Structure 1
Amino acid sequence: MNIPNALTLFRIGLIPVFVILFYLDFPGSYIATAAVFAIAGMTDWLDGYLARKLEQSTPLGAFLDPVADKLMVAVALALLIERYNTLWFTVPAIVIIGREIVISALREWMAELGKRTSVAVSYLGKVKTTAQIVAIIGLLMMPPVEGSLWYQANMLCLYVAAVLTLWSMLIYLHAAWPDLRGKAEENR
């Protein structure tokens, strides 16, 4: 066990704390929930930085890090779908969750072919993740007030994250397309 892996496990351990705080009703509960999500976002950056800086990358960390990220984002979006309960929130949230599932499956399949590097995390993926984290923190911080500037700004950020999500998915699928097509042709 090293520091980056411990941070990743800590992030996974924050998920039940996050869910409990989301449902508790106390003064400051919105801020507390957003803070836990923000801490998870910071540990996501920190564990990757430390793994590279300390040369402590491990197969366990390479597996757990993206799982922890996707779990936290999917759980947060699922809870926010319940809170916001509108088509305008649900559509971008489902786009983001669906993309994460598709890309996880694609990476697993490409790894089986020995070509995982062709769908490695890109700069656009990092921008997408940042937009998701910013949008989710903003939406967690305050109760939903549809006409407010805060609501509109965070919904815009969520839509930007959804567009970046689709864009990055298309880039990954394009990179993998020759292998996807080749595999499909072999099965005919």
Structure 2
Amino acid sequence: MNLTIPTMLTLFRIVLIPVLVVVFYLPYGWTNIAAAAIFIFGAMTDWLDGWIARRYGMYSAFGAFLDPVADKLTVAFALLLVVERHDTPWMALLSAVIIGREITISALREWMAQMGAHGLVKVAGLGKLKTIVQMTAISCLLFEENLLGLPVFRIGEWLLAIAAALTLWSGFDYLHAAWPTMRRKG
């Protein structure tokens, strides 16, 4: 296996997950800021690894597999941390929608690939918008504090609700695209 720079960045993003968890639970007043910074840094490396792969043609099958896994792990762990600290039914529901959709679409993609129809279920513009809103929301929720008079946590809650709605919409789009294959018998 040839490790490309994008794949190394993706692996680094996975290594950041336990760092995020440890920093989140440190008994200091600044850990929320550090946790948000770690999450944002991970999101930036996600963008960077994709840009490098496209710009320099550094694609690999392993990287194509690992990148969405790293994304889903990062989002799931960050949402679990947020729900643990802010254990409201609203936060749990929004997080469950997002994590549930990620698991469902991952399973759908794998099944479609086995059916020879993997090209029907691709990331679309709506999915990219969902990701941007979701990453911004989680960053705000991890940060928690007001900034320049802005209620950052409240903004994060609203953005997470928007991300959950976009998650459902894009999930429906994926299922709609896959439906003809899913209906086939045998």
Specify if TM > 0.5: yes
Q: Shift of the alpha carbon at 1:143?
A: 5.7
State the identity as a percent: 52
How many residue pairs align between the two structures?
181
> For the Cα contact (< 8 Å) 2:4–2:60, is it kept in 1?
no
> 1:96-130 deviations in whole A, cap 9, x for unaligned?
00000000000001111221111111111110011
DSSP 3-state at the match of 2:59: coil
Distance 2:44 2:69 in 1: 16
Equivalence for 1:153: 155
Distance 1:7 1:151 in 2: 29
Are positions 1:100 and 2:76 aligned together?
no
Greater than 4 Å deviation, 4+ residue runs: none
Deviates most, 91-100 or 117-126: 117-126
Distance 1:150 1:44 in 2: 23
Q: CA RMSD in A?
A: 1.3
Are positions 1:46 and 2:48 aligned together?
yes
> 1:122-153 deviations in whole A, cap 9, x for unaligned?
11111001111000000000269xxx833322
Paired amino acid for 2:96: I
Matches within 5 A, 1:1-188: 1-142=3-144, 149-182=151-184, 185-186=185-186
Distance 1:112 1:76 in 2: 31
Q: TM-score, normalised on structure 1?
A: 0.93
Distance 2:41 2:151 in 1: 25
For structure 1, the 5+ residue unaligned runs are none
> For the Cα contact (< 8 Å) 2:16–2:42, is it kept in 1?
yes
> 1:41-84 deviations in whole A, cap 9, x for unaligned?
00111111111111011100000000000000000001111110
Q: TM-score, normalised on structure 2?
A: 0.94
Distance 2:153 2:64 in 1: 35
Distance 1:151 1:17 in 2: 22
Deviates most, 135-144 or 81-90: 135-144
> For the Cα contact (< 8 Å) 2:137–2:156, is it kept in 1?
yes
> 1:158-179 deviations in whole A, cap 9, x for unaligned?
0000000000000000000000
